[in-house]
Structure 1
Amino acid sequence: MSEQSKGDLSLVALTKSFATFTAVHPLDLTIPQGSFFALLGPSGCGKTTTLRMIAGLEEPTGGRIRIGETDITDTKAYQRNVNTVFQSYALFPHMTVVDNVMFGLRRRGDKDAKAKANEVLELVQLGQVANKKPTQLSGGMQQRVALARALVNRPDVLLLDEPLGALDLKLRRQMQIELKRIQQEVGLTFIHVTHDQEEAMTMADSIAVMNAGRMEQLGDPATLYEQPRSTFVANFLGQSNLLRARVNPGGTDDMVTVRAHDVDLEVSREHLPDGVGDVWLGVRPEKLRLGESGGPNHLRGIVRDVSFSGVATQYSVEMPWGQELIVIQQNDGSNRATLGEAVTVSWAAQHGFALDASQDAEAGAELVDDHG
């Protein structure tokens, strides 16, 4: 593909409908050239369908796909300078690693195929196994061969479809760091589809959180985590404690008071949606502290569960109205509590966020362990 196809990947009102349902509602998204981008969401949210449309494996019902100035919507998959790495590596078992990697280049008659293949094998740290067969390699190594085979073509966009799903947890963590390093070295646009929140947050510069065929929120990992704009994002990206509250009139330029279960609490005005009277006041478990913090936000409760995990301890603290708040505290010598103990739970006003209470408080929570 020509040089002018280089540039940002743009999806313009991209949509996909099947006979009985709409998999992707009109989606507008610009993915900057050279970024590591994640499409994150539960099974059936439309992320894989979106990926397949970019790859040319699925025809859009409407909308356009562009790379830079070049419209590739009606281009056949093999004519697009886009490569995909799937969860199943699909390596040729009878060929050596280096032959697998150079397969596409050789078919196109590239005279430098072997040199390019060896170069990219060094990049993925597999130069030493170039002459082995895929079956002699571990799952993690096979995944890197599949990655090398895609990278050697220097695609404008590399699509990663749940690429680490078949690996065990420890190996997956190593590969997350490895993939990010490789992406930064080659400077190509990576689009990574995953249902794994930690994986997306570890690797991606930007994340589009998808739900039921729509984009819920787009942003960098820290913004999505600290300032979710919906209960779905608050629950799907990590855990959130959500307290039903009513916004009190007035407040200062910076702070607003909300009343939750007959207690006045403060939240930053910038974290409050405009024009909303009833809210969910959200606080992440690790932002809560056992004991008084000196600020206005504190609640009294009883410890109902204590779970020690090494670096941190998770407490479940029952409030007078029956709701249990999750508190995660680093094991750094700070306050500890025991089962049945009456405790104060406190947090800084700027660590809270508020969401429109017309949303379902449980949205997204039941989907977190879904590995579809």
Structure 2
Amino acid sequence: MATGGMTEDLRLVGISKQFETFTAVHPMDLEVPGGSFFALLGPSGCGKTTTLRMVAGLEEPTGGRILIGEKDITSTKAYQRNVNTVFQSYALFPHMTILDNVAFGLKRRGVKGANAAAQEALDLVQLSQVAGKKPAQLSGGMQQRVALARAIVNRPDVLLLDEPLGALDLKLRRQMQIELKRIQSEVGLTFIHVTHDQEEAMTMADSIAVMNGGRIEQLADPATLYERPASTFVANFLGQSNLLQARINGFGADGVALAQTHGQDVLVAGDNVPDGIQDVWIGVRPEKLRLGEAGRNRLDGVVTDASFTGVATQYLIRMPWGFEVMLVQQNDGSARAQVGENVVVSWDPGHEFVLDQHQAGDAGVGLGDD
């Protein structure tokens, strides 16, 4: 089921939303390439759902413009926009068959061949075999796919997904992440997915805008966000980060920067150091650390916790100055450390990111856990 034709970009120009007592979305610019899978990611209250509702026409912006291609839809009523939304609640008509649910919008507009188009949409979400059943006869995951088919069949310019997998259990949610990405790729529509779930956004989206306090903290592809976060908030919100307070003391001839953290000398890639910044956070992801003297940077510590998860073991290791780093060791046959054991934690220069220390080290901590 192809969309037939080029999908146009969605552009938000200086868009903002002010309520009586607070600003939900500060003036911001955002461009979503046509035909891409885009995610708005952030904790509760960050402004992502308000942004989605403004695109849908369910909230009126305080300022700014919304454009699809060159068409300004800022003042267009919700029902007049070629934009569909899939919510966490499926909102299917319980008395109608699945086929009739999917065809409902087309029939209401008098579109010819509505049943054939609905059947094609059900084929896409691999539910053609349940066309004659009622919603109550389907599982939650199947109902969510029906809701998706009902939105796709209208061939919207933009399909908005508002926490669509939140009601599903973990295993089914992961299956649906793969399915959603496959479906988006096949139909070529612009998907904008709003979620607080980092793994969900990272799994599916081509690009992610991380929002915080009504502003975009960083917009990039998943790998860049994870490997090169632009702020401590992004570093902590997307997965786990070990942030070490450090000072840059100079640069070596081999492209590394010479740093010191709590009296310990370490080396970091010079290209990772922000220009003109001396007091920094050195951030190392848990899976980039190694037990033993495998890397050029080596810090002594004591294991305070070891949690075996099957594919890996997650350690907490207390540094001499009291800070605990998290280290994840894959279950690859390597010897495992025990609680109370003295160990060496190591990593190579270039496996870290470096941020300005003027940012709070705990920004974003715990906000992605719900």
Give your verdict on TM over 0.5. Answer: yes
Q: Which residue does 1:251 correspond to in 2?
A: 252
The question of 1:133 aligning with 2:134 is answered yes
- 2:319 alignment counterpart: 319
- Deviation readout 1:8-49 (Å, 9 max, x if unpaired): 101111100001110001111110000000000000000000
Q: Which residue identity does 1:172 align to in structure 2?
A: R
**Shift in alpha-carbon separation, 1:4–1:22, aligned structure 2, 3 A:** farther
The Cα offsets for residues 339-366 of structure 1, whole Å up to 9 and x where unpaired, read as 1110000011111011111111111012
Inter-partner Cα distance in structure 2 for 1:270 and 1:205: 25
| TM-score, normalising length: structure 2 | 0.97
- Is the Cα contact below 8 Å between 1:246 and 1:277 reproduced in 2? yes
Answer whether contact 1:5 1:69 (CA < 8 A) is retained.
no
* In structure 2, C-alpha distance between the alignment counterparts of 1:254 and 1:189, rounded to whole Å: 42
Distance 1:152 1:107 in 2: 13
Task: State the shift of 1:279 in Å.
Answer: 0.5
Superposition deviation, residue 4 in structure 1: 10
Letter in 2 for 1:337: A
Provide, for residues 44-94 of structure 1, a one-character-per-residue CA deviation record: whole Å limited to 9, x for no partner: 000000000000000000011111111111111111110000000100000
Which secondary structure does the structure 1 equivalent of 2:123 belong to?
helix
- Partners of 1:263 and 1:179 lie apart in 2 by 47
Q: Secondary structure at the match of 1:180?
A: helix
Contact 1:4-1:68 within 8 A present in 2 as well: no
> Which whole-Å deviations, capped at 9, do the CAs of 1:151-189 have from their partners, x for residues lacking one?
000001000000000000000000000000000000000
Superposed, 1:49-198 pairs within 5 Å as 49-198=50-199
CA–CA distance in structure 2, aligned partners of residues 65 and 253 of structure 1:
48
Q: 2:36 is matched with which residue?
A: 35
In 2, the alpha carbon distance for the partners of 1:275 and 1:79 equals: 51
Q: TM-score, normalization: structure 1? A: 0.97
| 2:329 maps to 1:356 | no
Q: Measure, in 2, the Cα distance between the counterparts of 1:255 and 1:289.
A: 20
Which residue pairs with 2:332 in the alignment? 332
Q: Identity across aligned pairs (percent)? A: 73
1:250-300 Cα shifts (integer Å, max 9, x gaps) = 33463211110111111112222221111110000010000011x431100
Q: Contact (CA 8 Å) 2:251, 2:270: kept in 1 or not?
A: no
248-257 or 303-312, which moves further after superposition?
248-257
Within 2, Cα distance between the matches of 1:226 and 1:93? 46
* 1:6, distance to aligned residue in structure 2 (A): 4.5
Instruction: List per-residue Cα deviations over 1:192-231 (Å, max 9, x = no partner).
Output: 0000000000000000000010000000000000000111
Q: Confirm or deny: 8 A CA contact 2:7 2:189 kept in the other structure.
A: no
Query: Which residue of the partner structure matches residue 217 of structure 1?
Result: 218
Task: Say which SS state the counterpart of residue 105 (structure 2) adopts.
Answer: helix
In structure 2, the CA distance between the partners of 1:266 and 1:115, relative to structure 1 (3 Å rule), is same
What's the offset of the Cα at 1:336? 1.7
The answer to whether residue 307 in structure 2 is matched with residue 303 in structure 1 is no
Separation in 2 of the partners of 1:109 and 1:353?
A: 56
Report the 3-state secondary structure (helix = DSSP H, G, I; strand = E; otherwise coil) of the residue aligned with 2:106.
helix
**Aligned equivalents of 1:23, 1:339: Cα separation in 2:** 46
Between the two proteins, the alignment pairs up a number of residues equal to 367
> How big is the shift at 1:334?
2.1
- Structure 1 letter corresponding to 2:39: A
Q: For each residue in 1:322-346, what CA deviation from the matched residue of structure 2 results, as whole angstroms up to 9, or x when unmatched?
A: 0011000000012421111100000
Task: After the TM superposition, list the runs of 4 or more consecutive aligned residues in structure 1 that deviate by more than 3 angstroms.
Answer: 3-6
| In structure 1, distance between residues paired with 2:272 and 2:222 | 17
Distance change >3 Å, CA 324–CA 116, structure 1 → 2? same
Which deviates further from its counterpart, 136-145 or 333-342? 333-342
Q: Gaps spanning 5+ residues in structure 1: where? A: none
* Aligned-partner SS, 1:93: coil
User: Could you tell me which residue of structure 1 aligns to residue 365 of structure 2?
Assistant: 365
**RMSD across aligned positions (CA):** 1.3
Distance in 1 separating the partners of 2:94 and 2:251: 69
**Helix, strand or coil: the match of 1:10?**
strand
Unaligned runs of 5+ residues in structure 2 are none
- 2:227 match: 226
Read off the aligned partner of 2:282 and give its amino acid letter: L
Which segment is superposed worse, 149-158 or 358-367?
Answer: 358-367
Aligned-partner residue type, residue 152 of structure 1: V
Pair 1:20–1:252, CA change in 2 (3 A): farther
